[in-house]
Each structure stands twice: as C-alpha cells, then as structure tokens.
C-alpha cells in the first residue's frame, strides 16, 4: 500500500466520522449523514482490499464499486430535496427516479445475460486518443451528472428565495464541491478498466462531504427551506377563496370546500354571489377593496361563527386582478369568550348577592352562613367551611383558626373536620406565598381515602382568605358529585376568598374603631363625673375633719349628709360605667331583655324603683332596636346623673303603625324652654331618632319629673 492510498483511506475515514458527529445539525432528518458515511466507508474498504492484495470476485467488486459510486450522489440529492420540502416526504416520482437506475444497475450486474450486455457493447469513439467507455460507465456517468445537476438546481433555487450573505456562501461552497465530485467522476471513467477507479472517485466524495458539512453549519435550514403550496394553501386551516375581476371563483383550498360545502371543481367559474349566498353583505359589496365582518352559517345542522375578510389582488400594473376571501372559523373562540363572560356575570351576581346579604345579616356569623350557602350553590359543591383567625387567649397568645360557618353533611364528620383543619393550620401559618390546596381525588389521599370510599368522588379546594398579605381565614369547598374543581373555578373561588377577607377585615376594623371611640367616651365621662365627685368627697371629708378638730360641730351633720349623697351618686355612676363596659347582644337577646338587664343592674341597685312594661309581639328591625336602646340608655343616664329620681318607668307600647317607648321619672324635672337644644346627651338622642325615622317628644316640668316619648315606625313581619 503506497502513501497516497494510505492518505486517501485516512481522509475517507475522517470524512465519514465527521459526517456522523455532525448528525445533530442535519435537518429535518438526521439519517442522511449515516447513509453518506456508509457509502464512503464502503468505497474506502474496497480500496483497502485492492491495495492489500486481497482478490475479490470480479462481479462482487464491480457491483459494490458501482453501488458506492451511484448511491453517494443519490443520497446527496435526496437530502437536498428533503431540505427543500421542509421535511415533507419526497414524492413517489422523485423516489422512483432516485432508486430506479441504481436498482436496475444491480439487477443487470447480477443477471448473467444482462451482465455481458453492459460490458460488450461500446459506443463510437469520440476521440481516438480517449479509450472507449462501456455502456455501464455511461449509465453511471449520466446518473451522477443528473443527480449533481438536480442538486445544483435545488441549491440555486433556495439561494434565490433567501439571498442572505451566509446562505450565499454556503450554497456556493456546496455547488463547487458538487462540480468537483462530477469532475472526479469523469476522471474515474477515463480508462477502459472496469469498475471505475474508486481511488479517483473518493477524493470527489470527500470534497462533497466537506461542502455538505459547511452547508449544514451555515445554511440555517428553517429559513431557507422552501415550503410548497400544499403546506401554505392546502394545509391552511382557514378557508381561502380566490375570485377574478368578474367575481368568478377560480381557486379555493380544502378548508373553504368544507366550509361552503362545495368542491373546488364544482365552484370553478361560478359567480361568488351564488356560492356564498349566506353572506349577502359580502356579495353586495363587490367594489369594496377591503371588507371585514362576522357572520354565522349552518353547517351540517350546526351553527358556526366566522370572521370573513375580503382583500383586493393587484397585477404588476397596479390594476385590480381579483379578490381573496378569507374565512376563519371562530366558533370555539366565541364559545370560550361567551363562557368567560358568563362566568364574569355569575361572579358579579354572586358577589352582589353575598354582600347584599351582609347589610341584612344580624351578625358576622350569620353573614358567613348565608355567604357559604350561596357559594356552595353557585359552584355546585355539596359541602363548605369557613375558618376565621381569632385573637389568642390569655393562656396562649398565638392566634387560632375557629370554624365560623359550615354547610353540608360532610362537615358534620369529625374526621373530615380534623384533617381539613390540619391542612388549614399548615396553610395559614406557613411562611411564603399562600397558594390554594387542591385535592382532585380523595380516593388517592391517605387522609380522606376512608371517607371517599363510599362516594363516587371527593374533590376538595382549600383557599386562603388573604388581606394585605395576611391570612384572615380559610375557605373550604368539597364536591362529592361531579368533576374536580377546574382552574377557572379555582380562580373564581380565590376572588371570592379575597372579597370575604376584605369584608371580614373591614368589619373588624369598624368594630375596633367603635370600641376605641366608646372607651374614649367612657374615659371622658369617668373624668367629668365620678372623678369630680370623688374629688368633692375628699374636699368635704377634709372640711369635716378640720371642723371636728376645731370643735365647730354645728354644720358637721349637714356636711356628712352631703358626703353620703355624693358617695351614693358616685356609686350609681360607677355601676353605670361597669354596665356600659359589658357587651350588649341586642341581635340575639332582643330589646326588651336588654332594657330589663339595664334597669336591674344599674337603677335597681341605686335605690331607684325601676319598672319595665312591654306589650307582646313588638316587631322592630335590628337597626331600629339598636337605635332605640341607645336613646333609652341616654335618657336613663341623664335621670341617674341629674334628675335625683326615686322611680323610673319604661313602657314599650305597640300601636297600629308605630312602637312607642316612654321613659318617665319622678325627678326634679327641668324647664324645656330654658334647656333649648340641650346638651350632648339630648343631641345624641335627636340624631339617633332622625336616623331611624322616629319622632322624639320631651315633656318636663320643674319639680314634677320628666317623660320622654319616642315613636318608631313599626316593621311588618
């Protein structure tokens, strides 16, 4: 084996390895580098066998040599065609053309009668100096030349479509390597010996391999691949209809055929207004250059919605050549839009209903129960829970989750409640982002599998109620019928949870502000009344002590009596303050019961004969009962502090259209003309009376006591 042959074998092996290593860049299919490497290695093996002195049967040597010499350019052409068709399968005609000649060649070589024909017949010599070439050589040369010419045509077509600098360079390099391969192929047949000289063919194949490696690195196949009409028009999901100047249909794609229910062949040459009779606004605007509208038609007994767009085509001279009509099916998109709009409307109605109930609820707990019922019904759940964070106790300062509302049979199961509260505690107390906890199927969850066993399904959604990144509570929904909660439902439930959290937070802030204002009022009243009386007691006690020490006992008895009166009055007001510090539950106990407690705990323990007389079946709203209670409380406070009364009578009378509350005392009374609008107490009474649409009447005479009458419009129940 000489040096040139050894170098040729090394170069052949290196080219084959380089092709295989670059397989990731061969798009759309990486099978081609393996094919090319196989033909290179086949040629290299034959050269090595001949150089090593190994003698093969002549027919085997000839067949393998022609197979390598013809299969390599055929594979290159197949790759270029595959690239040009964007990875689509090659047409049957192209495949037949590529395979026919190599297949027939092998058949002729292995068939005895035909084998002799390929080598016995010679053509007329073109030049006496050039040795004649057998028919098989001319077939080989013609096939290789045709493959290389077709490859060049594909290359330069892609170059015209995408004239990028890198693309131009890659195409030119590959074209040069194709031409070089053709030249080496000619040289391999320049002598009459058969088979063709592989030592001459292989350098051309190696150069072509190098050109291919450069091409696949720089050509950027997704950009240069030529997409055929089938991929653009035939495979287009929207309907395309082309009409000429006379508004006659000249072409349409399969999508348009399906939409209008007419085949292309039947519609060809027909007026567009006949075929598209369902869209009269399109056919009646033949002069419009651009037109777009939406419409619906009945296809296969189902209504479909379409976006219809008309665009004018122009020829090279700028004259109208026809129109393109685009039909885009938007039925699914419209259904999705309608579904989202319906969901938004349902959310608005639900929120309006929930917070409309908030203004009528007697307490926060009642509101949460009403809200839970509406949430469960709206989201087709069967069970629901609401937990709220409550302040810690004296023993434990840590806030705790308290069950505040529940609905459904599953919420009565202690096992279900225990596992759900465990999840809620972990969700509420864990740091970081608070995401909903979804259990799509309780059968696969160890905590709920026993509960889910007798049920068809058990889907649970646990959502934190967040306000300003703080967890106010937890909303729980459970389904024992139907599918798990989908993402859209989870989003809507999250919105509900946020709105509930906002309401709870606002309600707590309102109650806190009311409590703070009440505390400040009590502090002021304590300072203005009891503190002053105690200071007066200290002063009078000191005066009595000084009089005793000096022997002036004539006025001591009178001063001791005054000390006793002031002490009793201070005790009365202290009891009044203690009573006002206790919570009043008008919503559950009612006006009569609360007034009775007030009279018993304050007036009854202050040496005042207090009596309450109330008619049966007195019906007032919570708002009116609250206002009436505070008006009565203000009147009783004034009696306790200023009237020096011995008896008080509170009467609740039911009339046809009103409820009358009368508060009568036997105290010192006052002149209503001199009092005028009165102090802060009378001002508060008048404001609360106006808020509920009631009337206030004050009847008082000096020395004869006072009667305050409040007439409130009755509620029809």
For residue 609, what are the β-bridge partners?
647
Question: DSSP strand E in 218-319: where?
Answer: 239-243, 249-252, 290-299, 302-314
> For position 113, what pLDDT does the model report?
64
- 388 and 296 share a domain? no
Judged against a pLDDT cut of 70, whether residue 567 lies above it is answered with yes
Region of residue 693 (left: phi > 0; alpha: psi -120 to 50; beta: else): left
- 611 and 484 share a domain? no
Domain count, the chain: 4
Q: Smallest Cα–Cα separation from 373: which of 342, 402, 344, 405?
A: 405
For the entire predicted model, the pTM comes to: 0.42
Is residue 588 one of the residues assigned to a domain? no
Q: Is the peptide bond before 195 cis (omega within 30 degrees of 0)?
A: yes
- How far is residue 213's CA from residue 15's CA, in Å, rounded to a whole number? 9
> For position 102, what pLDDT does the model report?
73
Residue 60 or 279, more confident: 60
Kindly report, residue by residue over 41-58, the tens digit of the pLDDT.
888 888 887 777 777 777
Kindly report, residue by residue over 676-698, the tens digit of the pLDDT.
555 667 888 888 898 888 999 99
Query: pLDDT grade, residue 226 (50/70/90)?
Result: very low
Q: Smallest Cα–Cα separation from 147: which of 190, 217, 100, 214?
A: 100
Judged against a pLDDT cut of 90, whether residue 544 lies above it is answered with no
> Domain of 36: which CATH number?
1.20.1070
> For position 386, what pLDDT does the model report?
92
∠ Cα 121 125 130 (to 5°): 115
> For position 330, what pLDDT does the model report?
82
> Domain of 634: which CATH number?
3.30.565.10
Query: pLDDT grade, residue 492 (50/70/90)?
Result: confident
- 309 and 354 share a domain? no
- 385 and 478 share a domain? yes
- 139 and 264 share a domain? no
Kindly report, residue by residue over 140-179, the tens digit of the pLDDT.
666 677 777 776 777 666 656 555 566 677 777 777 877 8
Average pLDDT over residues 58-66: 74
Residues 6 or more apart in contact with residue 364 via CB below 8 angstroms: 404, 504, 507
Residue 422 or 583, more confident: 422
Structure tokens at 157: 């077509």
Is residue 220 one of the residues assigned to a domain? yes
Judged against a pLDDT cut of 60, whether residue 222 lies above it is answered with no
Average pLDDT over residues 126-131: 41
Judged against a pLDDT cut of 70, whether residue 710 lies above it is answered with yes
Query: pLDDT grade, residue 652 (50/70/90)?
Result: very high
- 206 and 304 share a domain? no
- 197 and 235 share a domain? no
Q: Please state whether beta strands 437-439 and 302-314 pair in parallel, antiparallel, or not at all (unpaired).
A: unpaired
Judged against a pLDDT cut of 90, whether residue 265 lies above it is answered with no
Average pLDDT over residues 12-35: 80
Is residue 218 one of the residues assigned to a domain? yes
For residue 239, what are the β-bridge partners?
327
Cα torsion at 256, 262, 264, 265 (round to 10°)?
180
- 247 and 122 share a domain? no
Residues spanned by the domain of 664:
607-713
Is residue 533 one of the residues assigned to a domain? no
> For position 514, what pLDDT does the model report?
75
What's the gap between Cα 607 and its chain centre?
69
Please say whether the dihedral angle defined by the alpha carbons of residues 119, 120, 123 and 126, taken in this order, is positive or negative.
positive
Is residue 551 one of the residues assigned to a domain? no
Other CB atoms within 10 A of residue 276 CB: 24
> For position 661, what pLDDT does the model report?
93
Residue 505 or 294, more confident: 505
For residue 53, what are the β-bridge partners?
none
- 188 and 75 share a domain? yes
- 58 and 99 share a domain? yes
∠ Cα 628 633 636 (to 5°): 125
Kindly report, residue by residue over 460-483, the tens digit of the pLDDT.
999 998 888 788 889 999 999 889
- 143 and 236 share a domain? no
Judged against a pLDDT cut of 90, whether residue 383 lies above it is answered with yes
- 247 and 156 share a domain? no
Query: pLDDT grade, residue 232 (50/70/90)?
Result: low
Average pLDDT, the chain: 77
Is residue 169 one of the residues assigned to a domain? yes
């Amino acid at each position: 084996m000489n040096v040139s042959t050894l170098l040729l074998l090394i170069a052949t092996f290196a080219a084959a390895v380089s092709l295989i290593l670059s397989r990731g860049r061969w798009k759309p299919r990486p099978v081609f580098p393996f094919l090319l490497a196989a033909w290179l290695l086949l040629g290299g093996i034959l050269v090595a066998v001949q150089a090593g002195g190994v003698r093969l049967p002549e027919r085997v040597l000839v067949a393998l040599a022609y197979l390598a010499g013809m299969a390599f350019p055929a594979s290159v052409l197949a790759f270029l065609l595959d690239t040009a068709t964007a990875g689509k399968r090659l047409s049957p005609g192209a495949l037949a053309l590529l395979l026919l000649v190599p297949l027939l060649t092998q058949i002729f070589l292995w068939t005895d009668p035909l084998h002799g024909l390929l080598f016995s017949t010679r053509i007329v010599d073109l030049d006496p100096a050039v040795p004649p070439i057998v028919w098989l050589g001319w077939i080989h040369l013609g096939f290789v030349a045709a493959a290389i010419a077709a490859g060049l045509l594909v290359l330069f077509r892609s170059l015209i479509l995408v004239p990028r600098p890198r693309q131009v360079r890659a195409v030119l390099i590959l074209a040069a390597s194709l031409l070089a391969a053709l030249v080496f192929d000619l040289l391999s047949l320049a002598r009459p010996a058969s088979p063709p000289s592989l030592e001459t063919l292989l350098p051309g194949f190696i150069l072509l391999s190098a050109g291919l490696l450069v091409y696949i690195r720089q050509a950027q196949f997704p950009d240069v691949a030529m997409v055929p009409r089938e991929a653009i028009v035939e495979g287009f999901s929207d309907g395309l209809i082309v009409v000429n100047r006379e508004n006659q249909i000249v072409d349409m794609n399969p999508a348009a055929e399906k939409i209008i229910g007419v085949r292309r062949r039947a519609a060809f040459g027909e007026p567009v207004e006949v075929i598209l009779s369902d869209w009269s606004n399109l056919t009646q605007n033949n002069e419009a250059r651009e037109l777009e509208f939406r419409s619906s038609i009945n296809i296969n007994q189902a209504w479909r919605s379409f976006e219809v767009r008309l665009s004018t085509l122009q020829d090279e001279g700028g004259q109208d050549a026809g129109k393109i009509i685009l039909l885009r099916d938007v039925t699914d998109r419209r259904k999705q839009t309608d579904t989202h709009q319906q969901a938004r409307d349902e959310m608005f109605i639900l929120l309006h209903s929930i917070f409309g109930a908030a203004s009528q609820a007697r307490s926060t707990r009642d509101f949460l129960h009403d809200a839970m019922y509406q949430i469960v019904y709206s989201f087709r759940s069967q069970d629901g829970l609401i937990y709220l964070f409550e302040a810690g106790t004296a023993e434990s300062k840590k806030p705790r989750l308290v069950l505040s509302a529940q609905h459904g049979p599953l919420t009565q199961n202690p096992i279900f409640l225990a596992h759900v509260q465990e999840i809620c505690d972990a969700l509420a107390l864990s740091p970081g982002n608070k995401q909903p906890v979804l259990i799509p199927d309780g059968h696969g969850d160890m905590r709920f599998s026993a509960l889910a066993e007798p049920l068809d399904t058990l889907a649970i959604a646990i959502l934190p109620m967040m306000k300003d990144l703080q967890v106010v509570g937890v909303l729980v929904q459970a389904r024992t019928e139907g599918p798990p909660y989908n993402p859209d439902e989870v989003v809507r439930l999250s919105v509900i949870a946020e709105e509930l959290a906002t309401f709870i937070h606002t309600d707590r802030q309102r109650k806190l502000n009311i409590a703070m204002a009440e505390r400040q009022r009590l502090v002021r009243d304590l300072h203005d009344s009891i503190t002053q009386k105690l200071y007066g007691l200290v002063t009078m006690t000191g005066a009595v002590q000084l009089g005793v020490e000096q022997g002036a006992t004539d006025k001591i008895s009178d001063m001791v009596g005054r000390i006793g009166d002031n002490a009793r009055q201070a005790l009365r007001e202290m009891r009044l303050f203690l009573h006002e510090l206790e919570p009043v539950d008008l919503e559950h106990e009612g006006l009569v019961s609360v007034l009775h407690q007030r009279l018993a705990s304050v007036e009854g323990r202050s040496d005042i004969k207090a009596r309450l007389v109330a008619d049966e079946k007195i019906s007032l709203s919570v708002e009116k009962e609250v206002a009436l209670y505070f008006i009565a409380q203000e009147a009783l406070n004034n009696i306790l502090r200023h009237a020096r009364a011995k008896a008080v009578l509170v009467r609740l009378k039911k009339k046809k259209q009103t409820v009358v509350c009368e508060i009568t005392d036997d105290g010192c009374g006052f002149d209503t003309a001199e009092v005028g609008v009165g102090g802060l107490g009378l001002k508060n009474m008048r404001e609360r009376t106006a808020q509920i649409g009631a009337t206030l009447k004050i009847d008082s005479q000096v020395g004869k006591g006072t009667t305050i009458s409040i007439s409130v419009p009755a509620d029809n129940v």
